[in-house]
A and B are shown apart, each in its own frame.
Chain A
Amino acid sequence: MTFLGMPAFAPRGVGHLRGDEPFPAAARTALGNSQMRRNLRHATTTIRGKSGRVIAELPDWQDLRSAGSAIKADVMSRLPELLEELETRVTTAGGTVHWAADANEANEIVTRLVRETGSDRVIKVKSMATQEIALNEALEAAGITPVETDLAELIVQLGEDKPSHILVPAIHRNRSEIREIFLRAMPGVDPSLTDDPPVLAAAARRYLRETFLSTRVAVSGANFAIAETGTLAVVESEGNGRMCLTLPDTLITVMGIEKILPTWRDLEVFLQLLPRASTGERMNPYTTMWTGVTPGDGPQNFHLVLLDNGRSAVLADEVGRQALHCIRCSACLNVCPVYERTGGHAYGSVYPGPIGAILSPQLTGIEDNASLPYASTLCGACFDACPVKIDIPSILVHLRNQAPHPRAERAVMATASRVMQNPRLYARAQRAAKLARIVGRRGRGLPPPFSGWTAGRDLPEFPDQTFRDWWAAR
């Protein structure tokens, strides 16, 4: 039973934060897909090169990272007052603010708001928050058709697939696979479609044009919300975001409570960090900023849905709360040796890669994603790449300590701890360790019940003489 007012995890039974199987099992399956591994290696290599080049153009990149990190820490430390300030500003500017404690409530609010417009279709801008809460499924259950308008989301939706990357949900698909999906599932597509990327992009343009012009409700996420002014910002590339944020009568934005920035000026930091870290551009093609409702320009009804869904529980962890600093750039995915090989689906959550490995278990409670903190080699590349300096490796280790461990492992570790604290016991244990050479000869591993430990590791070679013995005999 949870107590009202205490931080709460994202509820079970709704949303896309929990996988069907633990990471090691899902990763084993994914590693067998050599086409996907080739696609991922190609895409992540491309983006690492582009991103590295444009980051090198800024002499103050490290200073920007430090500022970004400190601004986010400041946001977390006074989140309640900033949320209230944002609510006041948005309301004053003509918007309506809704509060959703979890995925179920957010889905109910959005469904009700769409129903009130009388529309049976919504156009959507790519949004991690709405993926997290499975809004599309909720809308479909209510007889409302959600149309994803981001090219990669469209590829995923038409392919009846799942997103595998934060920024490019169809990163696991190459051009010829995308062509096949379009030929199979895009109504009215030209049968002579080639796999040339501009041709594929043009096909999406033709397909969605009429939908953009005739749909009266849009649903979006938000990259930033400025508490001081009530301004919302969506950063995008294709112009589908501009379409959704400009053409409809009603705009519904679903945003995690951690996305807030205190002041207008803080944008000067994040608009430099985000594009260079995410798509490797000096600036993304389009960014839209709006404040409530502007008479005669854009949607005349604006609703902002503020979503908790486990975020307050993340905030309650002194070490783990840094995960809420994430600006969803996906740089950590692109540099991760584990992600590059397993792809995003293996993580089981809409948040894959290193950031997913620390965010998903904290949003759901560690029991529901206990294997994710181990989906890492702790190499630290993600920490270096993160534009807001989230110390992902430290949080991974912190979460590994919280994850449930088998009784035998706990007993062994407790014993090891006692032995290592006592010099005489330790010396005896070192000599006894030579026995391990007898039970587990090199290359063969330990016998049960310890065989699991050596299944993926080599036993160290123990010397004939310990250092202590050598020192005593010297």
Chain B
Amino acid sequence: MSSRDLILGRVRAALRDAPPAVAPVPRDYRREFPAADLEILVDRLVDYKAEVYRVPPSEVAATVTAITSRAAAASAPASSAAGNDAAVSRDAAVLVPPGLPEAWRPAGAFPDDGLAPDRIAAADAVLTAAAVAVAETGTIVLDASPDQGRRIITLLPDVHIIVLRPSQVVASVPEAVARLTPGRPLTWISGPSATSDIELNRVEGVHGPRHLHVILLEGDDGD
């Protein structure tokens, strides 16, 4: 007898000898929601230490450049910060998925065309779109579409910048689950990498990107 048949036989025997009462699942929890409130999304994102920028689509590339140059200045050693302008002024190496809109790409953007992990890890930042965002929880979901790329590219760089269209924001978790396609690899992101393992307090910055920046598009919903 295979273990498969053994286990299924045991489970069937357990249910046969003590049949469970079957009742319908009461789905009385909230399932109708008003349009997503972007202010709530921003509040939740900031609460989890993500940085939020609200700009029109035409300013995405410039915003990315501003983020990466500030990050470079912050991580440069204090001794070289004064005189060594070259280190700060070079274009940051921003990794982008192959399907990211051209207009969003800053100078220094390089696409993922099957890069090796060490090349990905060496990027100063990664810039992607998203699939869905949940206002109530401050969550952004990536589904590996061409404008979001393979899962690895948003994992190894220390800075992750996400461009979000207002139409992608829903109010609640049930709406997000309904919008997503189950077969795709999904990554639900709520703030930067964090842990609660030391005295059960949340501390940001363990293995995933330690900095999460969200560019929420204003006005026109883009392309």
User: Which residues of A pack against B, CB within 8 Å?
Assistant: 4-8, 39, 42-44, 46-47, 50, 59-60, 63-64, 66-67, 70-71, 73-74, 76-77, 79-80, 83-84, 93, 99-101, 105, 149-152, 155, 168, 170-171, 174-175, 178, 197-198, 200-202, 204-205, 208-209, 212-213, 226, 228-229, 231, 237-240, 242-243, 246-247, 257, 264-265, 267-269, 271-272, 275, 279, 281-291, 294, 296-298, 306, 308, 312-313, 315-318, 321
Interface membership of B26, Cβ < 8 A: yes
Judge if B3 is at the interface, Cβ distance under 8 Å: yes
Look across to chain B and name the residue whose beta carbon is closest to the beta carbon of A212.
B207
Q: Which residue of B15, B24, B206, B209 has the most chain A CB atoms within 10 A of its CB atom?
A: B206
Whether A298 contacts B155 by the Cβ 8 Å rule is no
Of A171, A265, A282, the contact of B137 (CB 8 Å cutoff): A282
The answer to whether B30 and A60 have CB atoms under 8 Å apart is yes
Pairwise interchain contact A246-B151, C-beta atoms closer than 8 A = yes
**How many B residues are at the interface, by size bracket?**
35 or more
Q: Would you give the shortest CB distance from B178 to chain A, in whole angstroms?
A: 7
A394 to B65, CA, bound (A): 60
B201/A67 in contact, CB under 8 A = no
User: Which of B6-14, B55-63, B66-74, B82-90 forms part of the interface with chain A?
Assistant: B6-14
Asked if residues B187 and A316 are in contact (CB atoms below 8 Å), the reply is: no
Quick check: A74 and B25 within 8 Å, CB to CB? yes
Decide: A287 and B10 in contact? CB cutoff 8 A: no
- Give chain B residues whose Cβ lies under 8 Å from the Cβ of A315: 11, 14-15
Q: Say how far B176's CB is from chain A's closest CB, in angstroms.
A: 8
The verdict on A312 contacting B14 (CB below 8 Å), with A246-B151, A283-B137, A296-B150 known, is: yes
CB closest chain-A residue, reference B7: A308
- When A213-B117, A272-B173 are in contact, do A174 and B199 touch as well, CB less than 8 Å? yes
Query: Does B23 interact with chain A (Cβ within 8 Å)?
Result: yes
Known: A197-B203, A283-B134, A285-B190. A79 touches B11 (CB 8 A): yes
Cβ A291 vs Cβ B182 within 8 A: yes
Tell me the smallest distance from the CB of B162 to a CB of chain A, in Å: 14
Q: Is the CB of B182 within 8 A of A229?
A: yes
Contact A247 B26 (CB under 8 A): no
Complexed CA–CA distance, A404 and B1 (Å): 34
Are B3 and A105 in contact (CB-based, < 8 A)?
Answer: yes
| Complex interface: chain B residues within 8 A of A238 (CB) | 193-195, 197, 206-208
Task: Name the residue on A nearest B8 (C-beta).
Answer: A80
Contacts of A149 in B (CB 8 A): 207
Question: Smallest CB–CB gap between B64 and chain A, Å?
Answer: 22
Q: Name the B residues within 8 Å of A63 (CB-CB).
A: 26, 28-30
Choice from B10, B30, B188, B206 contacting A239 with Cβ under 8 Å = B206
Q: Chain A: which residue is nearest B17 at the CB level?
A: A316
Contacts A178-B198, A204-B206, A315-B14; is A67 near B193 (CB within 8 Å)? Answer: no
Q: How far is the CA of A97 from the CA of B173 in the complex (A)?
A: 30
Pair A231/B207 contact, Cβ less than 8 Å: no
Q: Is the CB of A201 within 8 A of B205?
A: yes
> For residue B121, which residues in chain A have a CB less than 8 angstroms away from its CB?
213
User: In the bound complex, do residue A312 and residue B206 qualify as a contact, i.e. CB atoms below 8 Å apart?
Assistant: no
The 8 Å CB contact of B200, one of A46, A213, A229, is: A46
User: What would 15 A/B residue contacts be, using CB atoms closer than 8 Å?
Assistant: A6-B10, A7-B13, A44-B200, A46-B201, A83-B7, A101-B3, A170-B197, A231-B183, A237-B195, A240-B207, A242-B155, A288-B188, A290-B186, A298-B152, A321-B18
Please name the residue on chain A nearest to B4 by beta carbon: A99
A29 to B87, CA, bound (A): 59
CB-CB nearest in chain B for A198: B203
Q: Which chain A residues lie closer than 8 Å to B177 at the CB level?
A: 264-265, 267-268, 271
A361 to chain B, nearest CB (A): 17
Q: Which residues of A contact B155 (CB under 8 A)?
A: 239, 242-243, 246-247
Map CB proximity to A onto B111-152 as digits: 1 under 8 Å, 0 otherwise: 000100110010000000000001011110000100000111
Q: How far is the CB of B23 from chain A (nearest CB, A)?
A: 6
Check B207–A264 contact: CB distance below 8 A.
no
A291→B143 CA distance, assembly (Å): 12
Q: Name the distance in Å between B119's Cβ and chain A's nearest Cβ.
A: 12
User: CA–CA, A80 to B15, complex, Å?
Assistant: 9
A288: which of B7, B44, B187 is its contact (CB, 8 Å)? B187
Find chain B residues with CB under 8 A from A268 CB: 173-174, 177-178
Chain A nearest CB, measured from B11 CB (Å): 5
Q: Which residue of the partner chain A has the closest CB to B209?
A: A239
Chain B residues closer than 8 Å to A101, beta-carbon distance: 3, 6-7
Q: Is A7 in contact with B10, judged by CB distance below 8 angstroms?
A: yes
Q: What separation, in Å, do the CA atoms of A212 and B208 have in the docked complex? A: 12
**Interchain CB contact under 8 A, A284 and B190:** yes
| In the complex, chain B residues whose CB is within 8 Å of the CB of A70 | 23-26
Known A-B contacts A84-B8, A312-B7, A316-B17; A286 and B197 likewise in contact (beta carbons under 8 Å): no
Give the Cβ gap from B54 to chain A, nearest Cβ, in Å: 21
Smallest Cβ-Cβ distance to A79: which chain B residue: B11
The residue from B8, B18, B192 contacting A317, defined by CB atoms under 8 A apart: B18
Contact A283 B138 (CB under 8 A): yes
Query: B205 touching A198 by the CB < 8 A rule?
Result: yes
